[in-house]
Amino acid sequence: MEHVPTSTPCTCRFLCWRLVVAVQACARCCLRFAGESGDIYAAPAPECGALKAALSATNGNAQASEPPITEGRADNADTKTEACPVCLGVLQCMDSGALPSPSSDVTTAVQHASGNPQPWIPVTTASIAAIAEAVKQEDHEFDSFWLDISLPGSTQVRQQAVWHWLRRDAAAAPALPGHSPSVDVTDLKAALRHTLGEPLAQQLCSRQDPDAELRIGLTFAHPATAAEADFLFGSNSKGRGAKRKRGPAHVQLGRSASDALAQAAAKMLEAKFGEEVRIPPLPPAQPAFVFVRAKREAVYVGGYYRKLQRDISHSPFIIDGVRLGRTSIQEELERVVLPHLRCDSSKFISAGREDMDVRMLGSGRPFVLEIANARARMPPPECFDSMAASLNESGVGVEVRKLQPVNRDTLKLIKAGEQEKQKSYLATCRLPCLVTPDVLDKINATENLVLQQRTPTRVEHRRAMLVRQKTIYSMSATPVPDDSHGLMLRLRTQAGTYIKEFVHSDEGRTTPHLSSILGCQEPAKILDLDVLEVHMDFV
């Protein structure tokens, strides 16, 4: 197995010998402290065992009989353990026949800490095949994957403790390659990826790729050492700006390994560090628990929707258990798209929205479906054409055009469009005065009209009470046939303008309003409203 040594053979042997004999570190942690990298970590368990035996005998002199450090162990002194005191057994997770089985409380704590409803699967058989089987159960279609690894923060504290111990050793210190474990010791996650990555890729008939959509999560939990890193952040165990998620009160997982934690450990003076942490650390009573889950990164499908009928809400509209509206745009889009992707859930995002009683005409409103954990590959273009045809021919009143896969950056266009786009409307109004040529002239001559709109009464229960300044760029009007008070009003406005309130004034909350421009004493009424166009480039 080829690898590139980053230290001389004698340096590697000496450091490893000290770690094996005195600290009882695992073979792979010995290699990490010697600065080794690459495929050497993928050596199977028998080879690692042989390496430890060889290293223990390397200095076959009086030093070779130096006893391991065991005094002061937190667990029973008679307990035998093979778990590495540095990595807590993380690098040994595939080297024995069985792994510790977590209690339901530990599993619940891991699930709670992830903040994601998709369950974690405990790995209790020490084999690559066990991890591969857990991944296969999710039934994803994929060609590549990447390991997303979460480690206990205590592994970084223990690594720093071993570093201090080696620096104290007058014989070992000159053999250390540099000044900091974060620089000179091979990263634990990197070593674990070499240990598991390629064997797992062979089991899954796949390949590793940091940009892969499928992320195989591996979480290592070790509640027994959960509090070991808290001292680094003062009396407040959460630390300034920390985002620590807790499980049930009786099971704490502690901080996860991070750059911030490693930097805090490296900055602390050795004397102060030694007051909080045993140097070198003691072997744990048992290794870390291992959990796995497979999850695809979110994928996106976008296009333009048209709403040709009223009484259709934007998303499911339910109040006190009563549904309002016949259906929703979100549900109709999901109905034709999601079965092809076999996902957990989706999020409907659009460039604004119209009220349930307002139609969306013209070329449609831009939207994106953010699709979580799709198990199927993205369908080909002709499949999206078929989805669109299915919806457009259904007669439900919702149509879609330019349905296609889009990337995450498309969400930025949607968000930018909410503030920057312009929209055109057609409002059917009834004026308190007669529609005369003078009235039509006043409307048609109005340009760049600036409105002051206080939050409308109809939405004040869910929006902040503010006064919003919006602009109507242009207006035009035509009479309604056979109705002397009827008016068809076309407007082009700034995004976010409340058109209904401009027409009827909302009891004076919008100024100026239609009647005030025309010199009428009573407010106008709005009978129907349609969005004619959302003016923005999208897909």
- Are 368 and 409 a contacting pair, CB within 8 Å? no
Domain boundary among 296, 319, 336: 296
Domain boundary among 418, 452, 472: 418
What radius of gyration, in Å, describes the C-alpha atoms of the chain? 33
Give domain status of residue 410, yes or no: yes
Report how far residue 99's alpha carbon sits from residue 92's, in angstroms, rounded to the nearest whole number. 10
For residue 469, how many C-alpha atoms fall within 13 Å in the half-sphere facing its CB?
A: 2
Give domain status of residue 47, yes or no: no
H or E, element range at 11: helix 9-18
pLDDT digits (tens, 9 = 90+) for 402-437: 999 999 989 888 887 666 789 999 999 999 999 999
> Domain range for residue 327?
299-418
**96 and 221 assigned to the same domain:** yes
- Are 503 and 526 a contacting pair, CB within 8 Å? yes
**449 and 356 assigned to the same domain:** no
Pairing state between β 525-535 and 359-372: parallel
Give domain status of residue 507, yes or no: yes
Q: Which pLDDT band, with edges at 50, 70 and 90, does 236 fall under?
A: very low
Residues that are catalytic: 355
**395 and 473 assigned to the same domain:** no
pLDDT of 5 strictly over 60: no
pTM for the structure as a whole: 0.81
**91 and 118 assigned to the same domain:** yes
Give domain status of residue 89, yes or no: yes
164-187 mean pLDDT: 72
**89 and 203 assigned to the same domain:** yes
pLDDT digits (tens, 9 = 90+) for 247-258: 555 678 889 999
Number of domain units in the chain: 3
**312 and 362 assigned to the same domain:** yes
**317 and 276 assigned to the same domain:** no
**437 and 496 assigned to the same domain:** yes
What percent of the chain is modeled with pLDDT above 90? 64
Report how far residue 88's alpha carbon sits from residue 231's, in angstroms, rounded to the nearest whole number. 19
Tokens 């309003």 locate to: 513
Report how far residue 508's alpha carbon sits from residue 31's, in angstroms, rounded to the nearest whole number. 76
Give domain status of residue 38, yes or no: no
Tokens 């919702």 locate to: 398
Phi, psi of 14 (to 5 degrees): -70, -50
Q: What is the CATH number of the domain that holds 428?
A: 3.30.70.3190
Is the pLDDT higher at 77 or at 117?
Answer: 117
Whether the upstream peptide bond of residue 512 has omega within 30° of 0, thus cis, is yes
Task: Give, rounded to a whole angstrom, the gap between the first and last alpha carbons of the chain.
Answer: 49
Helix (H, G, I), strand (E, B) or coil at 19: helix
**218 and 319 assigned to the same domain:** no
Give domain status of residue 272, yes or no: yes
- The residues, ordered by sequence, that sit 6+ positions from 322 with a Cβ below 8 Å of its Cβ are none
**363 and 509 assigned to the same domain:** no
Domain boundary among 257, 281, 296: 296
Give domain status of residue 222, yes or no: yes
Helix (H, G, I), strand (E, B) or coil at 106: helix
Give domain status of residue 24, yes or no: no
**384 and 508 assigned to the same domain:** no
**318 and 361 assigned to the same domain:** yes
384-397 mean pLDDT: 97
Q: What is the CATH number of the domain that holds 347?
A: 3.30.70.2510
